[in-house]
Amino acid sequence: MIGNLDNLLNFTNDLFQRKELKPVLAQVAGVAQYLWDRGWAERNAGNFSINVTGFFQEKDFGHFASFPFFPLSKEYPGLVRTIFLVSGTGTRMRDMAHRPAENLCFVYISDSGSAFHILGDHREGDCVKPTSELVTHLAIQQQLLQKKSPEKVVLHAHVTELIALTQLAQFKSEEAVNSLLWSMHPETMLFLPDGVGFVPYTLARTEHIAASTLGKLKNHKAVLWEKHGCLAVGITLPDAFDTIDILAKSAKIYLLGKATGMEPEGLTPEQLKEIRESLSG
């Protein structure tokens, strides 16, 4: 344990200066800018979590319990003593792009898995708090660890093209939306042969949407939340962004085609089969 407040604050300041984390912060800034430029993060929309436990040594962990803790609504035994870099609640991606350290927080899951510590400056009581979607992020991160998946990132964005697509009655099912997205652009089948999961409209920031999303992520790298946006997992933040970007491109192609007053032709079943078969060749 660190013995006094000054030492705690020095430790906090050092976190964002660690050379090992510099590439991660650079990725955060880059992706935040992409999200803002594409209009997928209006106001304080969009959030992410990155498992950064591997960037810390065992000697660091004794420091973390000294920081104020916050109870969780449920226990996460699979996340005990893990550390996440999380977007701050109320923060804006346009600000994150230029000042990531001021809009992020480090979250350490307690030894019981029933609370988290924010590794931040609490002198004024106004340290950056984690995203309001934290429950969903922790549930997904725990599942990734339990599956020993290589993915360490969860990214959620309000993707305009995908939200528009889920406003159309004919695409309110997983089968229908995947059939469309695959047919609009070969890259969708190439990079997402398992398609995207689909969660009917559910109130965000709840255990319900977290549980629904978990189920879909067992077989998919990305999930559409009806009338809300898209969530993806990835090995890195740019990797998760790329998955969402591919889906958005397919949706945009369809919507642009429809805007001409005609029905987009799409790839034929035979063409899609050819692409799928090329993946196993």
Would you say the C-alpha torsion 75, 145, 21, 241 has a positive or negative sign?
Answer: negative
Active site residue 174: no
Which one, of 157, 139, 131, lies nearest residue 215 by Cα? 139
Would you say the C-alpha torsion 46, 140, 129, 22 has a positive or negative sign?
Answer: negative
Compute, in degrees rounded to 10, the torsion defined by CA atoms 163, 169, 172, 175: -120
How many CB atoms neighbour CB 238 within 10 A? 16
- Which entry of 124, 133, 175, 270 is annotated as an active-site residue? 133
Would you say the C-alpha torsion 123, 129, 135, 136 has a positive or negative sign?
Answer: negative
Compute, in degrees rounded to 10, the torsion defined by CA atoms 142, 162, 278, 273: 120
Distance CA 73, CA 189 (A): 38
Cβ pair 134, 90 in contact under 8 A: no
Residue written as token pair 């429950």: 135
Residues involved in catalysis: 133
